[in-house]
Amino acid sequence: MLARISKLLCLTLFLWAKTADASDPFEFCPTKAFIVQSPGSVPILYGVDLAIGSYTTISPDMGTSKVNGAGFNYHDSYMYGWDYDAETLARFGNDYQAVPLNLTNLIDKPFYVGDVSVVENAWYGYRKGYGLYRVDLSDPEAALVMVKIATHTSMGNPTLTDLAFHPFDGLIYAVDNDGFLMTIDPANGETTVLVQVLSEAEEGFKFTFGAQYFDVDENLYLSNNSNGFIYRVTINGEFSEAVFFTYGPSSSSNDGARCALAEVEISDLVDFGDAPDSYGSTLAEGGARHGISSLLLGSLIDGESDAYFFPLSDDISDQSDDDDGIAFPTGFEIGSSAIIIANVTGSGGFLNAWIDWDQDGQFEDDEQIAEALAVNEGTNNLPINVPIWATTGGTWARFRISTLPDIGPTGGVSNGEVEDYPLTVTEVGVTTRHYPNESSFTSFAFEDKYPQLGDFDMNDVLMNLRYTEYIKDGQVIRIKLEGQVAALGGRYHNGFGIQIPGVDPASIKGDSIAHFINYVRQSNYALEENRISAVLVASENLWDITQPGESGCKFFRVEEGCGTSSRPNWEMTVPFRSPVDVNSMPAMPYDPFIFAAPGTNHGSSVSAVTGQYPGRKFEVHLKNRAPSNAFEVGLFGTYDDASDTQQAIFFQTDNGVPWALEIPLDWKHPKEGVSVLEAYPQFSDFAADPTGMTNPEWYLENNANTQFLYND
């Protein structure tokens, strides 16, 4: 590795000193990316180290006023590009000076998009509104002929500012200015749009990818003109989303070239982070990395060819812990202030830092605790506030110093240092209240035939629930919901959610919800959008997390032998962005409900009102609990339903029978097809009494016809 680096350094010096004839080719396939920029009247050629984004001037003058459509030719080791002064294709040898070529049949000039093929000795150029063109380079000393391969109409007239040949498959790849990745067949110009790999809306700025090039590992690199950000798209049979890779040079005029058969090399003079790789530590994950310089956090730094991330952190390569720049004199208590001390060596640095407050394994925008903070050499105090929505327990922090002010938690930077630290978040002064209590569950039973009573066995969905509210200074700062699927007896597929009436969804930190199903953390966004009151979705389809059991079983725990004593479980810890006064919170158990699983039918009585697949238009709530604003109110008053929105009467028949019940224990539910009225004879009188005073303990097993109850 060191010998290879020495060879590169020697070659760089050689190229600077050499004054050979312009026809001399490069000695080997360049590993650096070339970027041509024209800030003034002459183009400047830069060499970019893709690993850390550092760039050096290779040639301050390329012998012409502008160069575009550049590409490295693997077949003769020259670089080719469009010479705007000579209005023809030019060749560039190891002195980087333009040598115009004799090009006949010159049509539709000039060109600012182009590259040289890897599998054939030819340059290809594209011009929006005109099409794709080819120039055979087999004998550049002879008269070259430009041939039009395809019209812009046949190609779909894509808006391209550069393109690149894949190192192996012979196709042209390009990402347009809307972030769509496409391939172009050089034989006929057939253009195939594959996938959108970047979105301007998500990134927050406009795209002009004026420099695009491959490496030998089939990674496509995109350099955005406006800010110099370089993205990487992995292409190896599948297509990854473009991920930010490194900070490069920005310019209003950018063109790129690189040998597609060269790897991206990492020297030993690069500092990597060492947090778990979910935070972006290794090169493969576009990890945080810095070219080693005189600007440091603390006084120690060492280099690695890649990250040694936790649990092999702290530079196991040389047994030297160089994370010595950050000190934590105070603890991190939820809702309190804290002090961080940054010790800096060198001047002109800016500090950017993040703490993963919600412990989801990523550093997000609202977790940034220092943003482009100018720091002085020596000791710098950084006061911060621990957000009320932070999660207690162990987490990670990342600190980056560089002369570049605005950098994110990942990607390469040419100087400075990155240091990662594990830390612990605690809380004091927090009390809890539980429903029904700290160790037990309450049960909710649903009949999914609404608005018809159907068999009324009340076992279509049976959910055990426990609630916990965390309270500090008289405000609820987060809630915890724990659920178990006790039975699924419906032939329809249902999802399960909990509405929190009167609580604004904006007060909940939706992207920090820790949602687990069967102990596996979920990546879905549990807080529904476009709701008047907050709605949390535990599962969109409970059959996705439940198995019916033995062969021949249709349902779960409603037929003898079809189920087990173990129950699928889910858990959700929901932090509040804005704490809610305890007196403003609705009483637990809030408002649990079922809804139609997306893309599934819920019977003709429902589809006649909502359409074939009702989804969130179908809901079943507890008696006299109003539905969410997703519900189709046209279902009210149909068939057996006697809901009256004017009188706040919901989800009950005219004699008070509901489609959902709460039973304050782990309930013995009816077998499949057995009405709850038959299994529990006292229920009908209880349901008819709006005061709930008649037969209030109807649900106890000693009040049941036990032969009709399901037994584990």
Within 10 A of 206 (CB to CB), how many other CB atoms are there?
A: 11
Distance of alpha carbon 566 from the chain centroid: 33
Q: Are strands 514-517 and 520-521 parallel, antiparallel or unpaired?
A: antiparallel
**Which has the higher per-residue pLDDT, 648 or 256?**
648
Q: What is the pLDDT of residues 421-445, one digit of tens each?
A: 999 999 999 999 999 999 899 999 9
| φ, ψ for residue 283, nearest 5 deg | -60, -35
**Which residues contact residue 160 at a Cβ distance below 8 angstroms, ignoring those fewer than 6 apart?**
113, 126, 128, 174, 176, 177
Question: What does each C-alpha distance from 517 to 30, 485, 575, 619, 626 come to in angstroms?
Answer: 50, 11, 18, 22, 27
CA distance linking residue 547 with residue 266, whole number of Å: 49
**pLDDT surpassing 80 at residue 566:** no
The dihedral over CA atoms of 115, 116, 117, 121, expressed in degrees to the nearest 10, equals 160
| Nearest Cα to Cα of residue 672 among 554, 513, 571 | 554
**pLDDT surpassing 70 at residue 416:** yes
Query: Is residue 375 included in any domain, yes or no?
Result: yes
Q: How confident is the model at residue 14 (pLDDT cuts 50, 70, 90)?
A: very low
CA distance linking residue 423 with residue 442, whole number of Å: 37
The answer to whether residues 140 and 127 belong to one domain is yes
Average pLDDT, the chain: 90
**pLDDT surpassing 80 at residue 97:** yes
Query: Is residue 263 included in any domain, yes or no?
Result: no
**pLDDT surpassing 80 at residue 201:** no
Question: Is there a contact between 630 and 531 (Cβ–Cβ < 8 Å)?
Answer: yes
Question: Is there a contact between 502 and 580 (Cβ–Cβ < 8 Å)?
Answer: no
Domain end position, chosen among 205, 231, 257: 257
Question: What does each C-alpha distance from 642 to 53, 272, 458, 576, 614 come to in angstroms?
Answer: 68, 65, 18, 36, 21
**pLDDT surpassing 50 at residue 16:** no
Q: Ramachandran region of residue 599, left (φ > 0), alpha (ψ -120 to 50) or beta?
A: left
Domain end position, chosen among 257, 281, 304: 257
Question: What does each C-alpha distance from 387 to 358, 360, 364, 692 come to in angstroms?
Answer: 10, 15, 14, 43
The answer to whether residues 435 and 417 belong to one domain is no
Q: How confident is the model at residue 629 (pLDDT cuts 50, 70, 90)?
A: very high
CA distance linking residue 412 with residue 410, whole number of Å: 7
CA distance linking residue 157 with residue 426, whole number of Å: 57
The answer to whether residues 502 and 414 belong to one domain is no
The answer to whether residues 190 and 134 belong to one domain is yes
Look up the CATH number of the domain holding residue 174. 2.115.10
The answer to whether residues 504 and 540 belong to one domain is yes
Q: What is the mean pLDDT of residues 554-576?
A: 88
HEC-encoded secondary structure of 468-518: EEEEECCEEEEEEEEEEEEEECCCCCEEEEEEECCCCHHHECHHHCEEEEC
Q: What is the pLDDT of residues 207-255, one digit of tens each?
A: 899 999 999 999 999 999 888 899 999 998 778 788 899 998 877 777 8
Q: What is the pLDDT of residues 21-63, one digit of tens each?
A: 456 999 888 888 888 887 767 888 988 898 898 888 999 999 9
Sign of the four-CA dihedral 621, 626, 630, 632: positive
The answer to whether residues 350 and 251 belong to one domain is no
Distance of alpha carbon 443 from the chain centroid: 35
Domain end position, chosen among 385, 409, 426: 426
Q: What is the mean pLDDT of residues 175-199?
A: 95
CA distance linking residue 367 with residue 397, whole number of Å: 10
| Nearest Cα to Cα of residue 56 among 35, 81, 70 | 35
Helix or strand (DSSP H, E) at 382: strand 378-385
Q: What is the pLDDT of residues 111-158, one digit of tens each?
A: 989 999 999 999 999 999 999 999 999 987 888 999 999 999 999 999
Within 10 A of 434 (CB to CB), how many other CB atoms are there?
A: 14
The token pair at 402 is 């560089």
The token pair at 362 is 């990523």
Question: Is there a contact between 289 and 273 (Cβ–Cβ < 8 Å)?
Answer: yes
In this predicted structure, what is the pLDDT of residue 613?
Answer: 96
In this predicted structure, what is the pLDDT of residue 548?
Answer: 65
CA distance linking residue 88 with residue 121, whole number of Å: 18
**pLDDT surpassing 80 at residue 570:** yes
Question: What does each C-alpha distance from 686 to 420, 443, 444, 526, 641 come to in angstroms?
Answer: 61, 17, 17, 35, 18
Helix or strand (DSSP H, E) at 677: helix 676-679
In this predicted structure, what is the pLDDT of residue 18?
Answer: 34
**pLDDT surpassing 50 at residue 19:** no
**Which residues contact residue 139 at a Cβ distance below 8 angstroms, ignoring those fewer than 6 apart?**
none
Angle, vertex CA 230, rays to CA 402 and CA 301, nearest 5: 30
Query: Is residue 451 included in any domain, yes or no?
Result: yes
**pLDDT surpassing 60 at residue 10:** no
Q: How confident is the model at residue 6 (pLDDT cuts 50, 70, 90)?
A: very low
Fill in the amino acid letter for 46.
Y
The answer to whether residues 548 and 651 belong to one domain is yes
Q: What is the Cα gyration radius of the chain?
A: 33
The answer to whether residues 277 and 249 belong to one domain is no
Helix or strand (DSSP H, E) at 432: strand 430-435
Q: What is the mean pLDDT of residues 409-427?
A: 96
In this predicted structure, what is the pLDDT of residue 340?
Answer: 97
Query: Is residue 264 included in any domain, yes or no?
Result: no
The answer to whether residues 396 and 499 belong to one domain is no
| Nearest Cα to Cα of residue 258 among 173, 152, 164, 381 | 164
In this predicted structure, what is the pLDDT of residue 421?
Answer: 95
**Which has the higher per-residue pLDDT, 688 or 203?**
688
The answer to whether residues 389 and 514 belong to one domain is no
DSSP string, 153-207: HHHT----S--EE-SSS--EEEE-TTSEEEEE-TTT--EEEEEE---HHHHTS--
Query: Is residue 165 included in any domain, yes or no?
Result: yes
Residue the block writes with tokens 């005073």:
693
Count of domains for the chain? 3
Angle, vertex CA 481, rays to CA 479 and CA 483, nearest 5: 175
CA distance linking residue 426 with residue 273, whole number of Å: 25
In this predicted structure, what is the pLDDT of residue 315?
Answer: 52
The dihedral over CA atoms of 527, 530, 535, 540, expressed in degrees to the nearest 10, equals -70
CA distance linking residue 150 with residue 693, whole number of Å: 82
Within 10 A of 112 (CB to CB), how many other CB atoms are there?
A: 22
The answer to whether residues 385 and 474 belong to one domain is no
Q: What is the pLDDT of residues 580-624, one digit of tens each?
A: 999 999 999 999 999 999 999 999 999 999 999 999 999 999 999
Question: What does each C-alpha distance from 242 to 202, 232, 233, 289, 525 come to in angstroms?
Answer: 12, 5, 5, 18, 22
**Which residues contact residue 343 at a Cβ distance below 8 angstroms, ignoring those fewer than 6 apart?**
297, 298, 299, 324, 325, 326, 327, 378, 379, 380
Query: Is residue 282 included in any domain, yes or no?
Result: yes
Return the percentage of the chain with pLDDT > 70, whole number: 95
Residue the block writes with tokens 């945080």:
288
In this predicted structure, what is the pLDDT of residue 551?
Answer: 64
The answer to whether residues 399 and 481 belong to one domain is no
Q: 173 lies in which domain range?
A: 2-257
Q: How far apart are the first and last CA of the chain?
A: 65
The token pair at 576 is 């509040």
Return the percentage of the chain with pLDDT > 90, whole number: 75
Question: Is there a contact between 484 and 441 (Cβ–Cβ < 8 Å)?
Answer: yes
Query: Is residue 646 included in any domain, yes or no?
Result: yes
In this predicted structure, what is the pLDDT of residue 423?
Answer: 95
Q: What is the mean pLDDT of residues 52-75?
A: 91
Fill in the amino acid letter for 253.
S
Q: Give, as one character, the DSSP assignment of residue 540.
A: S
Query: Is residue 262 included in any domain, yes or no?
Result: no
Question: Is there a contact between 58 and 17 (Cβ–Cβ < 8 Å)?
Answer: no
SS3 617: helix
Q: What is the pLDDT of residues 530-542, one digit of tens each?
A: 999 999 999 999 9
In this predicted structure, what is the pLDDT of residue 206?
Answer: 85
**90, HSE (Cβ side, Cα atoms, 13 Å):** 27
Q: How confident is the model at residue 203 (pLDDT cuts 50, 70, 90)?
A: confident
* Lowest pLDDT segment from 497-506, 527-536, 686-695: 686-695
Q: What is the pLDDT of residues 346-393, one digit of tens each?
A: 999 999 999 999 999 999 999 999 999 999 999 999 999 999 999 999
Q: How confident is the model at residue 3 (pLDDT cuts 50, 70, 90)?
A: very low
| φ, ψ for residue 605, nearest 5 deg | -65, -30
CA distance linking residue 211 with residue 235, whole number of Å: 17
